[in-house]
Amino acid sequence: MNEPKAFNVHFRCEDREIALAWLNKFRLKEGCAYGDLRKIGNIDFKSYMFVVSFLNEDDSIAMRKHFYSNEKSLNN
């Protein structure tokens, strides 16, 4: 059995609803997408981030370009 590769896009927790709204309108090229809160960091400091995982790299690139290209903020 081959483990599927996931392509992740990270957001601050407060931007979760904006990311989910975009994801609900986006037509995936392949597979599925899943968003969840994850605790990220080292032993001394951990923080929550909202992470969207895709099975298709092109889909993750599309989301990343939409939110992060040209220093675009999530409010635009």
Q: Is 38 domain-assigned? A: yes
Q: Is 47 domain-assigned? A: yes
Tell me, what's the pLDDT at 41? 74
**DSSP type of residue 69:** G
Number of domains in the chain: 1
Q: Of 13-22, 34-43, 65-74, give the lowest mean pLDDT range.
A: 65-74
Q: Of 32-41, 47-56, 66-75, give the lowest mean pLDDT range.
A: 66-75
Identify the three-state secondary structure at position 44: coil
Query: By 3-state DSSP, what share of the chain in percent is helix, strand and coil, each rounded to 5?
Result: 35, 30, 30
Residue 76 has pLDDT above 70, yes or no: no
Range of the domain at 11: 7-70
Q: Is 1 domain-assigned? A: no
Name the strand (E) or helix (H) holding 11.
Answer: strand 7-12
Q: Is 2 domain-assigned? A: no
pTM for the model: 0.75
The confidence band for 18, taking pLDDT boundaries of 50, 70 and 90, is very high
